[in-house]
Structure formats: structure tokens, C-alpha cells
């Protein structure tokens, strides 16, 4: 998902975890240091801030006052002793943020209770909660009355893949003289491995060679797991030779987003200050892929603490245009999969972190229903929104991976006992398919638009033809498309819940000042977002979660009319469906031609360097909760009809 002079204002930013959100930004230090209480209250009044008074605000104000006087905040009882006494003036400042009015008598009456609350906050801080400790409250996206399918059925993969062409090029692929093998789908690689036309060791060495060759250009590797990989591959070959075939992932090399713990290797979370962090266990997803016989070849890059594509070493790049970032935060997973440097990869999404890099890099991503895949052993950003899913080159690949990693583990209590029954032969024509009508209409250009706005409009109009062509392709497949619209609901205003949970997950990072070690220090980066979130009250968090219940009900109404929704991969749907937990399949939908409008900011590595000739576009299919298998079957049908997943970047 995810720092001088600082001002107090509202702004619209594109978050590092995908989607647009209205975020309240406040520079507490400047306000307190440069103007004192009156200027602080005047600024709050000017923007009409509407939060409820909270001890966290008072604690923040007291800590700032302490810093001005040269004190240093500590944890536990010493922090209680050293913090200044809460005063009526502090309550005035906090009330300004809260947007409430208090009489002099009310403020005096509150002093004792607020001091007690602050002491309780400090006591909890003294527990030094690890990132792995989840809240006692568990988010459940399932509305009342919904019955989940729980019976697990045998995996039904597609008919035997025709690998005759690949078989002929295996030797050339292993020698680096052809890239056909490297860009093969998991289904095709599985057929080659199963029939022993290629060994897992040979595939593993090929992908390790490609990772080493292209990492200097694309910056998608944090740590190669070469020793582990070669041992796993040799074991896979021995088992297959002995007739002990575990399934379609057996012997297939893969890459993990570097928020999944892997014993014996560092897990950096992509963040400065965590470069040498390691855990003495494997994440549950890693265990399950090990059990499926898959071969872990690399820990892949992620934006720092799951924000964007900028990590402590570099910015991960788009293999179609290496001057562009890969987007994020599953930056390395999408880049490496799209570049043919792993058989498949694992990413995560909180608010766009599978969707956005899959779109930018031309990969196929499956963001599962919230609560399908256990997150045990993965970095927590937002307990009520984090999801783990595959990033591959084809939809069926994603389904095969999800089949191996889903289901309860007894530790992540958000995981439902729901079944993911992949059936490549599912009759997708039985599904009711809608499309978000407004998302396929031309955007409006204001008469007084400046040059940059006009250039952006030209880009959107150019891309629109790919979206409308997708509707035509679906109609040719015999799909009867039903126009639908997203509910008119303030989904974006629920996003501060994510930032509050993220700030809690990294509470010590902010309080210790180690947030200065993170590479990104812009107003939209985590260090500033975490500080802002500390002024979001517990009352407003609860109220917003109540609003989220209404949002879930609104989305349930839409999905009562259709089973699948088709949409471009951006827009309001991205925020809405991440908040309500709905699954999505993001797949390539073509490559922009040489006549495409150029990027508005073609500078090397610029955040705004997106689009332009020769870069991919994508399409998203949304599904009902826990209907991921049917959704994937429909997306696979579209992918087979169009073949866009067979396009790949030229890296040399």
C-alpha cells in the first residue's frame, strides 16, 4: 500500500496500494512549533475537521510538546512518568481536530478520565506487539444468509496441453537461445515436467539464469533462494521419476513477494531498516507450495511495507518499458512473471497491489475473495483487507496455484471454510454477465482544460477502444451483457480504516523514529500516512466499519443481478471491491500500438511515467464472494478467445 514545511489540508492522492482516496494530511510539528494553539485551532476550523476526541490525539500532542522541551518519549511506565500532564489547552487543541465544542466546565471534568485513558494507551504500547499479532476482531465479508460451498472436489484441469512445439524448443530454451520455454504457462510446463521432457532442475537453472540476467535492468529480485531451489528441484525430479507425481505445480519454479517468511532467508518487506530481518519459520503459503512440490527460486521485490514499486534497493521496472516502474506493491512478482523469469509468482493485495502491477506489466492476476488464503507468516498491513493471490501468465495457472494455497490453517481466523473447486470444463455460459456501463463511456473534457489535461484525455480515449473491443469480443463469444453500475456510495471515505490499521501494524516504526529509514518520504508515503492515521479516532474507526457494512450490502445488491462484472481495471470498482472482499481476475487485454499517445512524463523512473506505445492494457472480471473458481473459468474463456496472454515483452 504506501516526510521541511508541512501544511494542513485535504488532498486527493493516488495511494501506493492502488486507487484514489481522499486523505486528511496534517503536519502537526509545524503547526505546534510555528503558531501554537491559536494557529493550530484556526487551521482545524478552516478545514472543518470532523473527528471525535481521542486519547491518541492528546498523546500525540503531549509527545510533540515533550519533544519541544527536549524530552524523549519512551515506552512503558517511564513514558507515563515523562509525558507532560494533560492540560485544558491540550484538550482545546484536540477538540479542534475532533470538530467538537466543549465548555470550560466540561474540559475540567474530562481531565482525570483523559489522563487515565492515556495511561492505558501507554500501557498497551509497553506490550511491544509484533506485526504478526492480529486484532481480536475479525473482518467477515459474507452477508447474512449467504451459504458457502464447503465440499472440496477433485481438481479438474484442462485437457492435456499440446506441448509438441515447446518440446522441440526445450534444448534451445534451456541454452538461452529461445524464450519460448521461459514464457510457457504453468499448465504447459507441468505437462513437460510430468512427461519428463524437461527436468525441474533444468527449469530451475534456466529461471535462475534469467533472474540474474534481467535483474540489473528490472530490479525485481531481493534474494535468490538458489540453494533451496536446487535441492527442491532435485527432490521433485526424483519423486517424479519414481512415479510420485504431486500435481501440476510439482517441479515448477516460482517467486515469492518478500513479505512471505521463508526460513533460512531474509524477509525484508522491501523496507529500509528491515534489510536483514529474518524469521525462523515458513509462511503458510510457502508450506503449501512446498507440499505441492513447487520450487521457490527467489524472494521478489515489493514497495516498502507494501506501497508502490520503490523499495530499499531501487524501483522495480516494467519489462515492456524499463523506464517505467512496474507499479506495486507486488512489484517484483508481476515484473518477473511477465518477463518470463519465474513459472509463477505470489503477490498480495490490500488496495490494488495485484491489480495495478498486473495491469502495468501485462500479467494475469487473481485477487481472491477476502478470507480464502491464510496470511499466516505474511507481513500484515491491514488485517481487514490484506489478501494473498497468484500472479501468472494465464488464468488457469492462477487457478492451479490458488487450488494449492487456499483454505483454513487454524491460525488466520479470517479464513472461511469455503471450497475452491477448479473445473476447466465449467460451463461459463450459465453465468449472468454484467458490465459497468459508465466505465466504457468516453470521459468528459472540460472546455478550459490545460495542455496536460488534454493529453491525459487523449490517453484515456485511446485506451477506451481496447475496453470497448473487449465487449465486442464477449458478444462474439455469445455473452449477453447486462449494463450495471457501481452503487453510489462513498467507498473512498472508508479507506482511512486501512491507514489506521497499517499505522497500528507499524506503530513502533513511527514512535521510534525509524520511519525515516524508509526510502519514500513524500506526503503520500507511509511515514506521513502513519503519522496522520494516529489522529483518526477509535470512534470514527468503528463508525466507518459500520459504514463498511452498508457498503457490503450495496455490493450484494449488484451481485444479486449478475454473477460476473466486466470493467476496465481502474476506477471506483477497485476501491469498492477491495473493501467488500470480492474476487477479481485481471488479465492482459492487448498492447498499445505505436500510434498511442506518449507518456505525459517519460522521465526515467518517474511516478507519472505510465502508458505510451508498446505497453499493455488490461481488463478486470469481478465475481461474487467465494465464486472465484467460476469467475476464473469465465476469464479463462475470454483469454482463450483473445490470446492476449501470449504476447510478451522483448527484453533484449
Scanning the structure block, which residue is given the C-alpha cell 526445450? 170
- Do 344 and 252 touch, CB atoms closer than 8 A? yes
Q: Which segments within 282-432 are labelled E, that is strand? A: 295-300, 317-318, 321-325, 344-349, 364-367, 387-392
Query: What percent helix, strand, coil does the chain show, rounded to 5?
Result: 40, 15, 45
Q: Is 128 a catalytic residue?
A: no
The one catalytic residue in 257, 299, 387, 624 is 257
All three cell numbers of 218, joined, read 528490472
Separation between Cα atoms, residue 589 and residue 645, nearest integer Å: 8
Give 94's contacts (C-beta < 8 A, 6+ positions apart): 53, 54, 57, 58, 61
The one catalytic residue in 353, 414, 537, 569 is 353
Separation between Cα atoms, residue 464 and residue 291, nearest integer Å: 43
Q: What is 510-527 written as a DSSP string?
A: HHHTGGGGSS--STTSHH
Give 496's contacts (C-beta < 8 A, 6+ positions apart): 21, 23, 24, 533, 536, 540, 544
- Do 363 and 588 touch, CB atoms closer than 8 A? yes
Q: Which of 142, 92, 77, 91 is nearest to 553 (CA)?
A: 142
Query: How many other C-beta atoms can be found within 10 angstroms of the C-beta atom of residue 281?
Result: 12
- Do 623 and 420 touch, CB atoms closer than 8 A? no
Q: Which residues of 324-348 are buried (b: 16+ CB within 10 A; e: fewer)?
A: bbbbbbbbbbbbbbbbbbbbbbbbb
All three cell numbers of 93, joined, read 487543541
- Do 318 and 617 touch, CB atoms closer than 8 A? no
Query: How many other C-beta atoms can be found within 10 angstroms of the C-beta atom of residue 272?
Result: 19
Q: Which of 301, 318, 303 is nearest to 218 (CA)?
A: 318
Q: Is 353 a catalytic residue?
A: yes
283 exposure class (CB count in 10 Å sphere: 0-12, 13-18, 19+): buried
- Start-to-end CA distance of the chain, whole Å, equals 31
Residue 140's region, left for phi above 0, alpha for psi from -120 to 50, else beta, is beta
Separation between Cα atoms, residue 64 and residue 72, nearest integer Å: 10
- Do 319 and 588 touch, CB atoms closer than 8 A? no
The one catalytic residue in 232, 322, 327, 329 is 329
Q: How far is CA 191 from the centre of its chain?
A: 31
Distances in Å between the alpha carbon of 60 and those of 96, 106, 109, 535, 575?
Answer: 14, 21, 21, 8, 30
Query: CA torsion angle for 559, 635, 649, 14 (degrees, to 10)?
Result: 0
Q: Which residues of 115-139 are buried (b: 16+ CB within 10 A; e: fewer)?
A: bebbbebbeebeeeeebeebeeeeb
Residues annotated as catalytic (active site), given as ranges: 257, 329, 353
Amino acid at each position: 500500500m504506501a516526510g521541511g514545511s508541512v501544511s494542513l489540508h485535504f488532498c486527493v492522492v493516488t495511494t501506493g496500494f492502488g486507487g484514489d482516496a481522499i486523505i486528511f494530511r496534517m503536519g502537526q510539528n509545524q503547526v505546534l512549533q510555528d503558531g501554537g494553539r491559536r494557529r493550530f485551532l484556526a487551521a482545524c476550523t478552516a478545514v472543518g475537521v470532523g473527528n471525535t476526541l481521542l486519547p491518541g490525539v492528546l498523546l500525540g500532542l503531549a509527545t510533540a510538546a515533550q519533544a519541544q522541551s527536549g524530552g524523549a518519549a519512551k515506552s512503558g511506565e517511564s513514558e507515563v512518568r515523562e509525558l507532560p500532564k494533560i492540560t485544558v489547552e491540550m484538550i482545546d487543541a484536540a477538540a479542534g481536530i475532533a470538530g467538537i465544542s466543549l465548555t470550560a466546565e466540561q474540559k475540567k471534568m474530562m481531565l482525570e478520565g483523559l489522563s487515565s485513558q492515556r495511561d492505558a494507551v501507554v500501557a498497551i504500547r509497553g506490550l511491544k506487539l509484533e506485526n504478526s499479532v492480529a486484532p481480536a476482531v475479525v473482518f467477515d465479508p459474507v452477508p447474512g444468509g449467504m451459504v458457502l460451498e464447503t465440499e472440496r472436489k477433485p481438481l479438474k484441469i484442462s485437457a492435456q496441453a499440446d506441448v509438441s512445439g515447446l518440446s522441440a524448443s526445450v534444448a534451445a530454451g534451456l541454452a538461452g537461445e529461445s524464450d519460448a520455454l521461459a514464457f510457457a504457462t504453468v499448465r504447459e510446463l507441468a505437462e513437460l515436467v510430468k512427461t519428463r521432457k524437461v527436468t525441474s532442475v533444468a527449469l530451475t537453472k534456466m529461471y535462475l539464469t534469467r533472474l540474474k540476467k534481467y535483474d540489473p535492468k528490472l530490479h525485481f529480485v531481493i534474494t535468490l533462494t538458489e540453494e533451496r531451489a536446487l535441492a527442491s528441484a532435485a527432490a521433485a525430479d526424483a519423486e517424479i521419476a519414481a512415479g510420485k507425481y504431486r500435481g501440476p505445480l510439482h517441479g515448477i519454479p516460482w517467486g515469492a513477494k518478500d513479505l512471505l517468511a521463508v526460513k533460512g532467508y531474509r524477509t525484508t518487506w522491501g523496507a529500509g531498516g528491515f534489510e536483514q530481518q529474518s524469521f525462523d519459520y515458513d509462511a503458510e503459503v510457502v508450506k503449501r507450495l512446498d507440499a505441492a512440490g513447487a520450487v521457490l527460486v527467489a524472494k521478489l521485490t515489493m514497495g516498502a511495507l507494501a506501497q508502490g514499486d520503490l523499495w530499499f534497493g531501487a524501483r522495480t521496472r516494467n519489462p515492456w518499458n524499463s523506464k517505467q516502474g512496474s507499479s506495486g506493491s507486488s512489484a517484483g512478482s508481476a515484473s518477473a512473471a511477465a518477463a518470463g523469469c519465474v513459472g509463477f509468482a505470489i503477490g498480495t493485495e490490500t488496495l490494488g497491489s495485484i491489480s495495478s502491477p498486473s495491469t502495468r506489466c501485462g500479467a494475469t492476476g487473481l485477487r481472491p475473495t477476502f478470507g480464502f488464503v491464510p496470511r499466516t507468516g505474511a507481513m500484515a498491513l491491514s488485517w481487514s483487507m490484506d489478501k494473498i493471490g497468484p500472479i501468472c501468465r494465464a488464468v488457469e495457472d492462477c487457478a492451479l496455484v490458488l487450488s494449492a494455497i487456499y483454505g483454513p490453517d487454524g491460525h488466520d481466523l479470517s479464513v472461511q471454510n469455503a471450497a475452491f473447486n477448479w473445473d476447466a470444463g465449467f460451463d461459463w455460459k450459465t453465468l449472468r454477465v454484467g458490465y459497468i456501463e459508465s466505465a466504457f463511456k468516453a470521459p468528459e473534457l472540460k472546455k478550459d482544460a490545460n495542455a496536460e489535461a488534454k493529453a491525459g484525455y487523449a490517453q484515456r480515449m485511446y485506451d477506451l477502444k481496447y475496453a470497448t473491443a473487449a465487449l465486442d469480443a464477449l458478444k462474439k463469444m455469445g455473452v449477453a451483457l447486462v449494463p450495471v453500475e457501481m452503487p453510489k456510495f462513498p467507498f473512498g471515505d472508508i479507506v482511512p480504516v486501512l491507514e489506521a490499521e497499517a499505522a497500528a501494524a507499524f506503530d513502533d516504526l513511527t514512535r521510534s523514529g525509524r520511519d525515516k529509514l524508509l526510502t519514500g518520504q513524500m506526503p503520500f508515503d507511509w511515514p506521513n500516512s502513519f503519522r496522520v492515521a494516529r489522529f483518526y479516532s477509535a470512534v470514527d474507526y468503528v463508525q466507518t466499519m459500520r459504514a463498511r457494512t452498508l457498503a457490503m450490502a450495496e455490493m450484494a445488491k449488484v451481485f444479486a443481478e449478475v454473477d460476473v462484472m466486466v470493467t476496465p481495471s481502474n476506477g471506483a470498482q477497485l476501491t469498492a471491491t477491495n473493501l467488500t472482499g470480492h474476487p477479481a481476475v485481471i488479465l492482459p487485454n492487448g498492447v498499445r500500438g505505436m500510434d498511442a499517445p506518449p507518456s505525459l512524463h517519460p522521465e526515467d523512473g518517474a511516478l507519472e511515467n505510465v502508458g505510451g506505445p508498446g505497453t499493455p492494457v488490461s481488463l478486470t472480471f469481478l465475481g461474487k464472494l467465494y465464486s472465484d473458481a467460476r469467475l476464473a473459468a469465465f476469464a479463462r474463456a475470454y483469454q482463450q478467445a483473445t490470446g492476449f496472454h501470449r504476447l510478451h515483452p522483448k527484453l533484449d
